[in-house]
Amino acid sequence: MDIQNIVSQETARQDIYKSLANCYRLPEEVIFTDLATLSDQLSNLNSEAASYINRMQTEPDQSCDLELLQIEFTRLFIGPYSLPAPPYGSVYIEKERKVMGDSTIDVQQRYQNFGLDISKYFKEVPDHITAELEFMFFLTYKEIESILSNAPEQAQEMLLHQKSFHNDHLNIWIPDFTDCVIENAGTEFYRNLAKATRVFIAEDFEYLKSVSILATQG
């Protein structure tokens, strides 16, 4: 694989994380651009998640009715009632149905190690799914930057950070979270988004583990 291919591959991962992160925000018109990106880049990686994204774009009940999607998004991920699928890591990892737990602080600490924090405009907890996926986007961005800067050791570090973040956070709670969405979604749109998320996170964790298997062998 030449550098261009590697960069293309990692760029696909980077774009997927960014667009997936955006999909867990209150839906606006721009979500359809993100879906197009996801569709392209997941296909480029031969991801099984692509089919779910394609269904989101084609099946009738996603219906381009933005208000309907907003109501559904609010019900699933914001509340104010019942909140069937809280998009917060701590709720699943610590099993206390509480935000700002120790696991949240660990996430925040990881952001801070990279000079990052929750944006003051975001007004959510550090382990909100959008923030965590965006952090993965950031790490892949830095990885690519390192590759392009001829700094393989930094690229390796970024990969290990990604794997560690998956290992301690995303891979632990995303399956439970997506189960909640799949079970409670009133639209195929969000059910498919959850399925795509679940599949992609699992695939990408396998990919990241392959990095560390190589590391162990070395």
Beta-carbon contacts of 215 under 8 Å, excluding residues fewer than 6 positions away, are 160
Residues 171-210 that bind other proteins (CB under 8 A): none
119 counts as binding other proteins under rule CB under 8 A = yes
| Run of H or E including 161 | helix 152-165
Q: Is 100 helix (H, G, I), strand (E, B) or coil?
A: coil
Residue 95 within binding range of other proteins, rule CB under 8 A: yes
Stretch that binds other proteins, among 43-51, 54-62, 153-161, 190-198 (CB under 8 A): 153-161
**Contact call for residue 150 and other proteins (CB under 8 A):** yes
Of 71-90, binders to other proteins (CB under 8 A) are: 71, 73-75, 78-84, 86, 88
Burial class from Cβ neighbours inside 10 Å (0-12, 13-18, 19+) for residue 51 reads middle
Q: Which is nearer to other proteins, 36 or 79 (CB)?
A: 79
* Residue in 31, 131, 185, 202 binding other proteins, rule: CB under 8 A: 131
Q: Which run of H or of E encompasses 71?
A: helix 66-73
Contact flag: residue 113 with other proteins (CB under 8 A): yes
Does residue 137 interact with other proteins by CB under 8 A?
A: yes
Q: How many residues bind other proteins (CB under 8 A)?
A: 90
| Rounded Cα–Cα distance for residues 39 and 172 (Å) | 25
- Please give, one letter per residue, the 3-state secondary structure of 9-35: HHHHHHHHHHHHHHHCCCCCCCHHHHH
Of residues 36, 148, 183, 206, which one binds other proteins by CB under 8 A?
148
- How far apart CA 51 and CA 90 sit, in angstroms, is 30
- Residue selected from 49, 125, 174, 199 as contacting other proteins according to rule CB under 8 A: 125
40 binds other proteins (CB under 8 A): no
